[in-house]
Amino acid sequence: MAEALASLKLTDKELTDKLSDIINHNFEMSIADLVQKKLTTANVSGWRKGTAHPTNLTIRQGISILLTGHKDKYGSFIVSSQKEAKKILHDALSTNNQKIMDKFEDFKMACASGAYDKTRSYPDSTKINSETLMECIAYLIIQGYLFTDFSHAKGHLTLDNYSRIVDIESLVSQTDIDNLLSNLQFFCNTAKKI
């Protein structure tokens, strides 16, 4: 997005004014008025330089209109390729997996108490976040491992076994990256706040 905004060769003030006009002409006045307070030259400067991203949906839609003529294309500037989508997934899984490993004994206790059965049963719950989702994925992988004939350490899950069983590279390779990319772009286009 930063490159696309910079390519317009507008000053921060000119870009702010242009976005203000687009928002005023394409959205209801009550919405446009609320958004104008967030549309400052300092914020626009950060967006143009790539040091910040707009969190407000109306502003993101205004930027999309400015750059593409359509309000629902913002996501293609944020996550533009399968490679980027794959990196985002890999980074999120790795970060959350490290959290599990850092508190491994707590994770094992949660597994034993059935904490992730609820997550598995209601994956669309608004209470689910990326950390909980990774914990549930790890739980399901472990369940599969413990109940196969290949498990030589049934019931004795150690951190070393866990590290071998839960393979982030394998999880990423099993993901439908086309679907992930379109869902990430859809989220960027429609989320009220990012």
Whether pTM exceeds 0.85:
no
- 56: three-class secondary structure by DSSP: strand
Per residue of the chain (194 residues), give pLDDT as tens.
Answer: 888 999 999 999 999 999 999 999 999 998 899 898 889 999 999 999 989 989 899 999 999 999 999 999 999 988 889 999 999 999 999 999 999 999 999 998 888 888 888 777 877 777 778 888 888 888 888 877 666 655 555 557 788 888 888 999 999 999 999 999 999 889 888 887 77
* 167, amino acid identity: D
Contact 180, 79 (CB under 8 A): no
pLDDT given for residue 129 in this prediction: 80
How many angstroms separate the CA atoms of 100 and 108, rounded?
9
pLDDT given for residue 165 in this prediction: 86
pLDDT given for residue 155 in this prediction: 56
pLDDT given for residue 154 in this prediction: 52
Residue 193, phi then psi, degrees to nearest 5: -140, 145
pLDDT given for residue 149 in this prediction: 54
pLDDT given for residue 91 in this prediction: 94
pLDDT given for residue 66 in this prediction: 95
